[in-house]
Structure 1
Amino acid sequence: MLLLPFLALSQNSTEYAVFENDVLTPNPTQISQFERGITAHNKKYHGDGPHGVRVYWISNGPRTGRYVWVMGPFPWSSMDHGPAQKEGHDADWRDNVSPYLMPGSGFESSYWKFNADMSRFPKDFTIKNMAVDMWDIKRGKYKEAMALVKKVHDVYAAKSPNETFGIYTNEFPSTKEGKDLAVISFFDKSAWLGEDHSIAKKYDEMNGTGSWDQFLKDWMDVTNGGETEIWMYVPELSGISGDVKAAARN
C-alpha cells in the first residue's frame, strides 16, 4: 500500500497520489543475487522523483521473508513518462531481477491511493518500521467504513496530535483478495508494539461513554476482517531514503 505523502502535487491539479506495491518472492537459494540485482536496478532507475522506490521486508504472517517494492507517491499521469524501455529499464529488470524470483508466484502488484484527509503526518520523520493493517470491506459498505475511519482520525487529531499514520485504499480491489483498505502506523522501536495507545479511552472521552464498544460493533458490520503485517524498511536495497517531508505536501 505504501505508502507516503511528500509529493507536492499542484494545488490546481485534480490528480491524487498513488503508490505501486509489488510483493516480490525471491528464490530462497538466490537471495544474494536478487538483492544485488534489485539494488542496482533501484539505484539506476528509481533514485529520485515520483518513481523513487523504497524496499521493505515482511517480518510476520504468511508472507514472512518476502520483499515489498514500493514506488511513489506519483500521479497516474506520470506513468506515461516513467523509465522508458529504450533506456534499458525493462531489460534490466528482466535480466537482473526476475531470474531470481520464484516462478509463477514471485511477483504480486497492486496500486494504492493515499487518502490525505484521513491521514496524520504532523511532522517530518524517517521511516524505519511500519505496522500495516489491511482490511476487507464488505461489498456496498465502503462509505460507511470510511466514515468510521474518519471518526478515529478525528480522535487522534484531537487527543494524540503527534501520532503518525497513513490511510490508503486499493485502486483495483478484488473480492477474492480482500485487501481494500490499509492503515499504516510508523514506529522506530519494537517496544511500540507492546504499548497501550489507549484509543478506546480517548474515543469515549470524545464521543461519550460506550461509544468505542459501539464503534467496534459498527466496524464488524462493515468489514469481513483483516490482517496485520510488520514491514521493515531496507535502505541498502532502496533507491530513495526513508526521509518523509510532511511539510512538503499541499
Structure 2
Amino acid sequence: MKKLMCTLLLLPLLAVAQTNESLIIENVMLTVNSENIKEFEAGIAAHNKKFHADGPYGARVYNILNGKNAGKYMLVMGPLPWSAMDARPSSQEHTDDNDKNITKYMTPDVEVNYMKMHPELSNFSKDFEINKVSVFMIDVKRFKEQEFMEKVLKKVVKMYLEKRPDQIYGIYSNEMNNMDGMDFAWVDFFNNSSWLGEEDTFAQDFESVHGTGSLQQFMADVEATTDGDRTEIWTLRKDLSGPSAKVMSATRQ
C-alpha cells in the first residue's frame, strides 16, 4: 500500500517527465509589508494548500535568513517542464484568491527566476526532507559558461561524489539572461544549522581528488570564468507550503 500511494503521488510529475524536457524550478521572491505579515502568511498558507498542494504545481515557501534579501519570502514551484507552464492553476477563483489574500499585502518588489535543473550533475540519490538550504549563487562571465562548466563546476562535482557522497545537493542554471549574478546556483540541503559550522575541508578534499597543487589552477579558473558569488540560507516554512517537506529522489532525476 505504501508503494502504491507513493506511485500515485508521483504520477503527475512522471507524466510530464516522460517528454524528456528539462525540468524547471520557478523561484518567486516576495516582499511583504511589515505590518501585514500575519495576514500574508495566513493567506498564502491557505492558497497553497488549496491550489498548489502537490504535483508539478506544488509550491513551497522559504524564509530568506541573510544577505540583502533577508526577511523576504521565496516561493518555489516545480519541478516541471516549460510545456506544463500554460496549464498551471489560473482559474478566476485562483486569481481572486491570490489578489484578495496574498498580493494585497505585498510590495511591488517581486523577482522571478526560472532555474533549469541539472540532474546529471546533482546528487539526489536518496529521498530526503527539506529543512534548510544553502543557495550558492554564481555570476558567470559573458561567453564563459562552457569553460566554467568544464573547468570549475564539473571538478567540484567530482570532488563531492568522491569525498561527500552522502551530501544531497542540486545544481541549477538560470534560463533567462540576467545581470544580477544569478547565472548558476549550487543548492546544499541540510537539517541543522550546526552543518554551517563544520570544518571547511574543501581545499584538502579538492587536492586529494585532483592532485597536489591542483587548487591553485582551480582558483585561477574560477577567477577567469566568474565575476563573483554569494550565499543565502533559506529555511522551509512547512506551515505556508502546499507539499510536505518530503522529496522523492525520483522527482529530481
Does the pair score TM above 0.5? Answer: yes
Equivalences for residues 20-35 of structure 1 within 5 A: 20-35=26-41
Find the partner of 1:98 among 93, 103, 127. 103
The one-letter code sitting in structure 1 at the alignment partner of 2:94 is H
Higher helix share: 2
Find the partner of 1:205 among 199, 204, 208. 208
CA contact (8 A) 2:66 2:232 kept: yes
1:118 corresponding residue in structure 2: 121
Q: 1:8 Cα deviation (Å)?
A: 3.6
Which deviations, in whole Å up to 9, do the C-alpha atoms of 1:178-231 show, x marking residues without a partner? Answer: 210111011111111011242221211121101122211211110000111000
Counterparts of 2:187 and 2:169 in 1: how far apart (Å)? 5
Which deviations, in whole Å up to 9, do the C-alpha atoms of 1:122-147 show, x marking residues without a partner? Answer: 21110100010111100000001111
Counterparts of 2:159 and 2:171 in 1: how far apart (Å)? 15
Secondary structure of the structure 2 residue equivalent to 1:116: coil
Counterparts of 1:44 and 1:59 in 2: how far apart (Å)? 27
CA contact (8 A) 2:119 2:252 kept: no
CA contact (8 A) 1:122 1:163 kept: no
CA contact (8 A) 1:122 1:161 kept: no
Q: Which moved more, 1:107-116 or 1:7-16?
A: 7-16
Residues 1:79 and 2:85 are matched in the alignment: yes
Identity of aligned residues (%): 43
Q: 1:248 Cα deviation (Å)?
A: 4.9
Q: 1:90 Cα deviation (Å)?
A: 1.5
Which deviations, in whole Å up to 9, do the C-alpha atoms of 1:144-179 show, x marking residues without a partner? Answer: 11112111111111222111111001111212x121
The one-letter code sitting in structure 2 at the alignment partner of 1:164 is I
Counterparts of 2:115 and 2:250 in 1: how far apart (Å)? 21
Counterparts of 1:171 and 1:119 in 2: how far apart (Å)? 17
CA contact (8 A) 1:134 1:181 kept: yes
Change beyond 3 A, Cα 1:112–1:9 = farther
Alpha carbon RMSD of aligned pairs, Å?
A: 1.6
Q: Which consecutive residues of structure 2, in runs of 5 or more, have no partner in the other structure?
A: 1-9
Counterparts of 1:71 and 1:236 in 2: how far apart (Å)? 16
Residues 1:188 and 2:200 are matched in the alignment: no
Counterparts of 1:245 and 1:174 in 2: how far apart (Å)? 31
CA contact (8 A) 1:130 1:232 kept: yes
Equivalences for residues 11-50 of structure 1 within 5 A: 13-50=19-56
Secondary structure of the structure 2 residue equivalent to 1:55: strand
Residues 1:167 and 2:174 are matched in the alignment: no
2:149 corresponding residue in structure 1: 146
CA contact (8 A) 2:16 2:84 kept: no
The one-letter code sitting in structure 2 at the alignment partner of 1:193 is L
Secondary structure of the structure 1 residue equivalent to 2:233: strand
Counterparts of 1:23 and 1:118 in 2: how far apart (Å)? 25
Counterparts of 1:203 and 1:217 in 2: how far apart (Å)? 14
Residues 1:53 and 2:59 are matched in the alignment: yes
Residues 1:136 and 2:139 are matched in the alignment: yes
Change beyond 3 A, Cα 1:143–1:239 = same
Change beyond 3 A, Cα 1:9–1:226 = farther
Counterparts of 2:68 and 2:160 in 1: how far apart (Å)? 31
Counterparts of 1:206 and 1:10 in 2: how far apart (Å)? 37
Change beyond 3 A, Cα 1:64–1:56 = same
